[in-house]
Chain A
Amino acid sequence: MNTRRLLLFFLLALGAIVLSACSGGPLANNWAGLAADAEHAYLASGSFIYAVELESGKEVWRYPAKADGKLLFYANPVPTSDGQLLIGSAGAKHPFVSLDPATGKEKWAEAFTKSKGGWIGSPLVLNDTIYAPNADGFLYIIDMDGKEAADPIELGGALWSAPSTDGSLLYVTSLDHRFHVIDPAVGETNEPIDLGGAAPSSPVIGSDGVYVGSFASTIEFIKPNGEHEVIAATESWIWGSPLLDGKTLYYADLSGKVFSLDLASGNQNWDTVQPDGPVVASLLIMGDQIYVATEAGTLVALDREGKTVWEKTVGGKLYTTPVISGDLILVAPYQAEFVLAAYDAAGKQAWTFAPEK
């Protein structure tokens, strides 16, 4: 092979590498999904789902045993009351699987593979039925053995968030700006509601309706009969779910502002809190503290008056909504030296977890 042929091969290979590196295909990435039960944290971080012992921060198992470039896990895994851990792949291959939370072994005889798209949103389990939202715009209905329980419901736009439920109805947001109310027995009950912008997070259930934020930079209150109104507006997109605490609704936007809205009066309790970066993750409450995870990599604990109780630099970028288990706050930083960290309510770091290669 002469020099020119070698040069040609080199140029073609370089072109392939450059284009592959830029691709949104198999190399697509995202922040991790996180869940926990009493014993383990479950982290869906790219090629693997890790089970991490809460006591020690050590890896218990990982799934699959060997990385498969076509399997990518980003959704929050969902532990069920009958001892399953549900999650689907968002990669080029997109099986929806049930794992044993204790061992990481597959529980179903076969994975559910009827979706055309990947799984970015988490499923909801209601009355022994799994409602699994897919990026192909369908809400799949699966029994607890992994078999299709009913025809999927076509909702149109990509579904990136877990459905919410008040125990009887399902509330689902889709990226095509719409909000859906679904009766599992009959399907969609009303015409979908136009939110004016994409809604990438789950609605929050209140006593007489639901609250949902969107890229229209608004919080909407929606009643089960479809009546809805904008109850708050922000400067920038609202990515995470609002946090309902009695008669107060907390929420944050991509400008980095955190808000406290008095639902009784419709007035802001405070709107001057602005930590060190945009907020993508949903807010979290434990005891008297509200936790805010910022893109700048800081975990901030606020009291109900909006005063900072403590703040910790976790590192990386915090997009994943923190999770509470027992007295630990679990945080999954993106592009950091470790993929999971645990803090106590005083902000003291208990452990960090970085998977072995």
Chain B
Amino acid sequence: MWDTIIIQPMTNLLLLIYDFLGHGPHMFGLAIILFTILIKVITWPLNASQVKGAQAMQELQNDKEWQAIQKKYAKDKEKIAQEQMRIYKERGINPFASCLPTLVQFPIIIGLYQSITRALSATPFDMLKLARTIYPFQNVEGIIPLNSTFLWMDLGRPESIQVLGFALPTLAIIVALTTYIQSKLTMPASTNPNDQGAQMTKMMSIYMPLMLGWFALNFASGIAVYFIISNVLGVVQYAATGRANWSNLLPGGGQKKSSAKK
């Protein structure tokens, strides 16, 4: 089911792009980039909705009425919940607007990841699976096996560059860096020291770069290419909304000193 609905169409689209590009050296890397852009464009409305929802929720955390309610009914959770629902209703905020799009995107991200690894077929068994994934209209004989060379990398293997006898994992570093930049840029400023949402976002901005960097270090570099392009496009999309918080990239940035609006 998962295979038929998610993996098969995604893998075929990826291979269709690869075939269209001429399936020569470096073309699979280019296909991953184009494929990532395409997926980002398709999921643009979802991302935009997520950004908007997260921003609204964040602004609410800095809202004086919201903070007053937290303080006033600190010992009555039921009352807090009632008041929160009232504010959501009054201001037209959907509290799930930020997480629902993420949930919808999660299968897409996993599927994309699986499509890339399947297409790269590191073993005969993987290739047999790939052969059965490809739709009959594709130029199967022509495109298999994929040419996994891209720039200095073999997209089917973890990447590193030899520097003074030391294997420097360039892509893993770029993945961690771009993930960090993306999370920092999208992290809204908070004036509320008790804002748990902001604390979680801050933690995410540390853990996510480490986790994705670890993936890039250990798995096929084709995945790292996807992560990097996805991160860069995420930054571009966020910047296009005019909400990117560039000051967060500076030391001590992100500490909003102005008073919260009501």
Interfacial residues, chain A to chain B (CB-CB below 8 A) = 2, 4-5, 8, 12, 15-16, 18-19, 22-26, 28-31, 74, 90, 92, 116-118, 120, 136, 157-158, 160, 175-176, 196-198, 200, 215-217, 237, 239, 254, 280, 319, 334
A8–B125 touching, CB < 8 Å = no
B131–A237 touching, CB < 8 Å = yes
Interfacial residues, chain B to chain A (CB-CB below 8 A) = 110, 113-114, 117-118, 120-128, 131, 140-141, 144-145, 147, 154, 156-158, 196, 199-200, 203-204, 207-208, 211, 214-215, 218-220, 223
Contacts of A217 in B (CB 8 A): 141
25 of the cross-chain contacts (CB-CB < 8 Å) are: A12-B207, A19-B113, A19-B219, A22-B110, A22-B117, A24-B120, A24-B126, A24-B156, A24-B220, A25-B117, A25-B219, A25-B220, A26-B218, A28-B122, A29-B125, A30-B125, A116-B154, A117-B154, A120-B124, A160-B124, A176-B145, A198-B141, A215-B131, A319-B124, A319-B128
A280–B110 touching, CB < 8 Å = no
Contacts of B128 in A (CB 8 A): 239, 280, 319
In the bound assembly, the distance between CA atoms of A120 and B156 in angstroms comes to 15
In the bound assembly, the distance between CA atoms of A28 and B127 in angstroms comes to 12
| Partner among B145, B154, B196 whose Cβ is within 8 Å of the Cβ of A4 | B196
In the bound assembly, the distance between CA atoms of A117 and B157 in angstroms comes to 9
Contacts of B157 in A (CB 8 A): 117
A188 → B minimal CB distance (Å):
20
| Partner among B118, B199, B214 whose Cβ is within 8 Å of the Cβ of A24 | B118
**Count: A-B pairs, CB below 8 Å:** 97
In the bound assembly, the distance between CA atoms of A116 and B153 in angstroms comes to 12
B211–A8 touching, CB < 8 Å = no
In the bound assembly, the distance between CA atoms of A90 and B157 in angstroms comes to 12
A18–B144 touching, CB < 8 Å = no
A25–B144 touching, CB < 8 Å = no
Q: Would you call the interface of chain B mostly helix, strand, loop, or mixed?
A: helix
Chain B residue nearest in CB terms to A121: B124
Contacts of B215 in A (CB 8 A): 16, 19
B203–A5 touching, CB < 8 Å = yes
Q: Would you call the interface of chain A mostly helix, strand, loop, or mixed?
A: loop
Chain A residue nearest in CB terms to B221: A25
A25–B218 touching, CB < 8 Å = yes
B219–A24 touching, CB < 8 Å = yes
In the bound assembly, the distance between CA atoms of A92 and B147 in angstroms comes to 19
Contacts of B125 in A (CB 8 A): 29-31, 319, 334
Contacts of B110 in A (CB 8 A): 18-19, 22
Contacts of A2 in B (CB 8 A): 196
* Across the A-B interface, the 6 shortest Cβ-Cβ residue pairs: A24-B117, A25-B219, A30-B123, A197-B141, A30-B125, A175-B145
A149 → B minimal CB distance (Å):
25
A339 → B minimal CB distance (Å):
15
| Partner among A8, A116, A319 whose Cβ is within 8 Å of the Cβ of B203 | A8
In the bound assembly, the distance between CA atoms of A31 and B147 in angstroms comes to 23
